Structure 1
Amino acid sequence: MKKGILMVLAVIMVAAAIAAGCTGTSDREANLNPSETRTLLLATTTSLYDTGLLDALKAPFEKEYNAKVDIISAGTGTALGYGENGDVDVMMVHDRAREDAFIENGHGIDRRVIAYNYFVIVGPEADPAGVKNMNPEEAFTTIREKGLADPAQVKFVSRGDNSGTHAKEKAIWNGAGFNYTTDITKSGDWYIEAGTGMGATLVMADEKAAYTLSDIGTYLAYKDKIALVPVVSEGEILLNVYSVMRINPEKHPGVNSSLAKDWINYLITPSTQKTIEEFGVETYGEPLFFPAAGNWDTMGVNRSEVEGPVV
């Protein structure tokens, strides 16, 4: 983990301890005066942050629970790293395989699915690779083939940051029959690794007139700033499921486990799920996310992963 990030986290945690009257104990959950503001440290994927959804969700929570939510936005891989170190109280990510491993290793508990949307492949309106309306695997194969042949005309910008979106990209390459390490990375000038969040990656792809993979929510939030258009939006592999989990206090005793529990239960309430359903509709003419409530079959998850409060 970068030293600078650790220093930022340390400052936030010390400030939270002082604000909550917690000096003299390592547990940020200690709060003898319920009238004082508690702080929740949340690590989240950039797509939830860049769209503005978390800002819309946190304000009512802060008022109801007399709390302050400090958000650290990063790729899923980095967010999980914060959780493994006990640097945050709760996380919201979108990479089921790594989430399962995180829980199996004892770092996370009480996972709940809270929303979903879909990934889209976006690119220049002229579509120089000619991939419009292909399935995702066929589109990736064609972009690679034409990019290798003419990188000046066909490029692909990858998140390249070990995020959930990057993991999905690698899954599509694998589904198309390619070894990501040997066939894609460093295979030519056509393939560019941004190493940035989703919003910044969209801007870079737009500047280079390149293709990229984006969650639909961040794309809609940025579409007025860029000229890229969706070229592939259909395919089972494009499903994008978001979940929340709290950090296991038995493994990381310093976390604010009680407030993390409140946050999870708040997210799965009917009123918050309604907020998720309506978010972005007025501005973009369509939702940026779909609520998890009632849609477990669509997401391919168990009902128990969506419903039921954390106790």
Structure 2
Amino acid sequence: MHRRSILRFVACLTACLTVAAPCARAQSGHVLRLSTTTSTENSGLLGYLLPAFEAQSGLKVNVISVGTGKALELGKNGDVDVTLVHARKLEDKFVAEGWGIDRHDVMYNDFIIAGPVADPAGVKGSHDVIAAFRKIAAANVKFISRGDNSGTDVMEKGYWQQAGTKPAGANYVSAGLGMGEVLNMAAEMGAYTLTDRATYGAYKAKTGLAILVEGDKRMFNPYGIIAVNPAKHQGINYQGATALIGWITSPAGQAKIASFKPEGEQLFFPSAK
């Protein structure tokens, strides 16, 4: 009797697993894993865009918001299905090495230098980012760096390289944090930082930091979306990635990006071709 009970239990468990396995696979097909930069999350853009895509596609998008370097690394490891980032050299390398496919331009915004209203380095009103960086380095002021291999961090390091200098010693703080946290640090320490305009806009009221340098063409900040190559990893939701790429670069998706205007200001500009 005991043996028959065990056999019935095993048979029942096997039947349940047989039914559950395809259900689990089907459920996973309805989830799309997106790695992206802190700027798209902190600015509120994704919270504005994704519900419309989810309603149309039936997909649930799980967002991992990190710096561009980490976002691409997640794609490389097969931990996400698609990535939305802003560091063209790193993006091109990701695709050239075969980790990503189907890269498309999505939108752009720009970088600014934000800092204390008092502006002790005297850079306010400049439209030359390199000259402004030199003045910040020469002044006895603090500069907060992302220090996280994000798109912003890569751009900032390039500016210091072009400037041929950077703040000395304790005046240069490598935070290893996201943009919102860095803006909060800059406000607390009376420091300067390089930020994308969108995240600055989301944190402006909280930090009280001022826009001091803007308008240099070298501060242009384009974003691209890339599907993770399904040939590199099993379980990549390539169909879902393709659906998101198609939607965000479509006239409807591009119009949705253009209509994102917190406090009446457009923060991202569509650029899909």
Query: CA 1:37/1:250 → structure 2, altered by over 3 Å: closer, same or farther?
Result: closer
Q: Which has the larger radius of gyration?
A: 2
Match of 1:81 in 2: 73
CA deviation string 1:80-106 (max 9, x = no partner): 110110110000000000001000110
User: In 1, Cα distance between the equivalents of 2:264 and 2:189?
Assistant: 28
Say yes or no: does 1:288 pair with 2:267. yes
Match of 1:43 in 2: 35
8 Å Cα contact 2:113-2:214 kept in structure 1: yes
Q: What secondary structure is seen at the aligned counterpart in 1 of 2:135?
A: helix
User: In 1, Cα distance between the equivalents of 2:162 and 2:94?
Assistant: 24
Say yes or no: does 1:62 pair with 2:71. no
Match of 1:137 in 2: 130
The count of corresponding residues between Structure 1 and Structure 2 is 254
Match of 1:162 in 2: 149
Q: What secondary structure is seen at the aligned counterpart in 1 of 2:205?
A: coil
Say yes or no: does 1:174 pair with 2:161. yes
Match of 1:233 in 2: 214
Q: Where do 5+ consecutive residues of structure 1 fail to align? A: 1-20, 148-153, 293-305
User: In 2, Cα distance between the equivalents of 1:37 and 1:252?
Assistant: 15
Match of 2:235 in 1: 254
Say yes or no: does 1:52 pair with 2:44. yes
User: In 1, Cα distance between the equivalents of 2:122 and 2:200?
Assistant: 20
Q: If the length of structure 1 is used for normalisation, what is the TM-score?
A: 0.78
- Percent pairwise identity: 45
Say yes or no: does 1:23 pair with 2:15. no
* CA positional deviation for 1:269: 1.1
The AA in structure 1 aligned to 2:219 is: L
8 Å Cα contact 2:113-2:211 kept in structure 1: yes
The AA in structure 2 aligned to 1:161 is: D
User: In 1, Cα distance between the equivalents of 2:236 and 2:20?
Assistant: 12
8 Å Cα contact 1:37-1:66 kept in structure 2: no
* CA positional deviation for 1:126: 0.7
Match of 2:98 in 1: 106
- Following TM superposition, the consecutive aligned residue runs of length 4 or more in structure 1 with deviations greater than 2 angstroms are 21-25
Say yes or no: does 1:93 pair with 2:72. no
Aligned match for 2:139, one of 146, 160, 164: 146
Q: What secondary structure is seen at the aligned counterpart in 2 of 1:240?
A: strand
User: In 1, Cα distance between the equivalents of 2:205 and 2:123?
Assistant: 23
User: In 1, Cα distance between the equivalents of 2:76 and 2:180?
Assistant: 26
Query: CA 1:22/1:107 → structure 2, altered by over 3 Å: closer, same or farther?
Result: farther
8 Å Cα contact 1:121-1:213 kept in structure 2: yes
User: In 2, Cα distance between the equivalents of 1:226 and 1:284?
Assistant: 16
Match of 2:8 in 1: none
Q: What secondary structure is seen at the aligned counterpart in 1 of 2:117?
A: coil
Aligned match for 1:199, one of 180, 183, 189: 180
* CA positional deviation for 1:285: 2.5
Aligned match for 2:247, one of 266, 275, 284: 266
8 Å Cα contact 2:112-2:196 kept in structure 1: yes
Match of 1:218 in 2: 199
User: In 2, Cα distance between the equivalents of 1:107 and 1:175?
Assistant: 30
User: In 2, Cα distance between the equivalents of 1:116 and 1:214?
Assistant: 14
Q: If the length of structure 2 is used for normalisation, what is the TM-score?
A: 0.89
The AA in structure 2 aligned to 1:23 is: A
8 Å Cα contact 2:142-2:192 kept in structure 1: yes
* CA positional deviation for 1:162: 0.7
User: In 2, Cα distance between the equivalents of 1:275 and 1:66?
Assistant: 18
Match of 1:10 in 2: none
* CA positional deviation for 1:55: 1.2
User: In 2, Cα distance between the equivalents of 1:74 and 1:240?
Assistant: 17
* CA positional deviation for 1:145: 1.1
CA deviation string 1:168-200 (max 9, x = no partner): 10111122134xxxx66xx31111111111111
The AA in structure 1 aligned to 2:124 is: K
User: In 2, Cα distance between the equivalents of 1:85 and 1:278?
Assistant: 34
Which structure has more helix as a fraction of its residues?
Answer: 2
Q: What secondary structure is seen at the aligned counterpart in 1 of 2:101?
A: strand
8 Å Cα contact 2:29-2:237 kept in structure 1: no
Match of 1:115 in 2: 107
